[in-house]
Structure 1
Amino acid sequence: MTESISKDTLTFLAELAANNNREWFNEHKARYQQARQNHLSFLGNLLQEMQHFEPAARGQQGKDLVYRIYRDVRFSNDKRPYKDHFGAYIAEGGRKSVLPGYYLHLAGNNNSFLAGGLWYPPAPELKAVRQEIDYSLDAFKAIVEADDFRKRFGEIQGEQLKTTPKGYDKENPAIHYLRFKSWNAVMPLSDNVVLSDKLLETVLDGFRALKPLNDFLKAPIQDMGAEDA
């Protein structure tokens, strides 16, 4: 396994972004396979180290985390056939989990980033998280408004309702956070960082800093499962 991402991997992704067509991809299929293997190998090391602080990393392999390079263009106006990045999501249940998790996005031209939080949960989970934020606003703000958190990730990101969520008053002290449909924290990664021997350490530090947010968002969803059992 490798602890670093090869320059060839980022170069391939940057060139794919500029030549997003089947002819070019088929001509460079061997480069894609090599880049993909480099990515999977890095993820294997990442999972091994994450097990020390995140139980969701246990028992998973890189292939459980990664998304297909092929885009589903059936219902999209964007007909580019390939994604121009490698994406991996670490959560209980693998990449298709509805639980909060950790995301690593590798792309050329300084477009890489790491992220965490909850991405467009289904309606019952969304309702449960909003209720938890309403009940425990001080605890939530202590995580996402902490100086170190904001230094790394800035403000919480995600699509928001333009109106007030059903069942809440617009004067609710938590209304800003209750309007979110997703709660995401994002930290950019420059090409220099991605290609350095410090990438694994940087990603691990970022994911450790995201764990309190993920744990907060995960608790009400797990409580739903306990009530149903």
Structure 2
Amino acid sequence: MESIIPFLKELTRNNNREWFKGQKNRYEQSRKEFELFLESIIAGIGTFDSQVAGLVAKDAMFRIYRDVRFSKDKRPYKTHYGAYIAENGRKGSKAGYYLHIEPGNCFLGGGLFRPETEQLKKVRQQIDYDAASLRQILNEAEFRNVFGGLQGRQLKTAPRDYPKDHPDIDLLRYKDFLATHFFDDKIIADGDAQYAVDHFKVMKPFVDYLNDALLFEDEEPKVNF
């Protein structure tokens, strides 16, 4: 894992196609290290979350090439490596686990980012019926120590179909349902996949709650007694 952080640091300073072309071998080496690191993490998560069983690292990894067609920022490359670990990998729509490697800004997290309208409706419905289970997850000492609490975009007022004085309006206002933990670059340099696995395991009940909500069609969301 010695190549990833140094390569990304230099890419940040030289984000152009000419430089990248001359460093293609270094890119391939760092990407391969990331892939192997990710394989270890996926295997670790697979011991406690069956949804990632059979997931291949390449299917979870995001491309380093930026889509600049509709962006004012014309830099051709991302300056980080990212991967989404969930059913169907980066193309999946379920709640899962995210890994972000960027010099000075490494973090792991997960949940639901920019959920589709129907997904957001289902999660809010689940909260309406059973906010207590989500609060219990968020208030667990280990979860709070690792992730701090629930994160994501929020509405300034109540969502449609919910009163402003709803007892769980603080949760219903969220438009993303995320948890994030930042860590030192040394974790990557040391190739400490277990560090990520252990922290993702703390997130598992949060991911389960969101995925349980997404399962519901016409039936009422389940309430945990």
Q: Is the 2:108–2:196 Cα contact (8 Å) retained in structure 1? A: yes
Q: TM-score, normalised by structure 2?
A: 0.93
Q: Is the 1:157–1:185 Cα contact (8 Å) retained in structure 2? A: yes
1:53 deviates by 0.5
Q: What secondary structure, in the 3-state scheme, does the structure 1 residue paired with 2:155 have? A: coil
The reply to whether residue 79 of structure 1 matches residue 74 of structure 2 is yes
Count of residue pairs the alignment pairs up: 220
- Report % sequence identity: 43
Give 1:220's aligned residue: 213
1:173-213: CA deviation from partner (whole Å, max 9, x where unpaired): 2111111111110000111222235x211101111001000
Q: Is the 2:95–2:112 Cα contact (8 Å) retained in structure 1? A: yes
Q: Which amino acid aligns with 1:49?
A: G
1:26-84: CA deviation from partner (whole Å, max 9, x where unpaired): 11111110000011111112222222101122111110100111111111122111110
Give 1:193's aligned residue: 187
Residue 175 of structure 2, aligned match among 176, 181, 192: 181
2: CA distance, partners of 1:139 / 1:28: 50
Q: Is the 1:56–1:90 Cα contact (8 Å) retained in structure 2? A: no
The reply to whether residue 118 of structure 1 matches residue 112 of structure 2 is yes
Give 1:168's aligned residue: 162
1:118 deviates by 0.7
1:142 deviates by 0.5
Give 1:96's aligned residue: 91
Q: What secondary structure, in the 3-state scheme, does the structure 1 residue paired with 2:77 have? A: coil
Long gaps (5+) in structure 1: 1-5
Give 1:16's aligned residue: 11
Paired residues for 1:20-169 under 5 Å: 20-108=15-103, 110-169=104-163
Q: What secondary structure, in the 3-state scheme, does the structure 1 residue paired with 2:65 have? A: coil
Q: Which amino acid aligns with 1:97?
A: G
Q: Which amino acid aligns with 1:223?
A: F
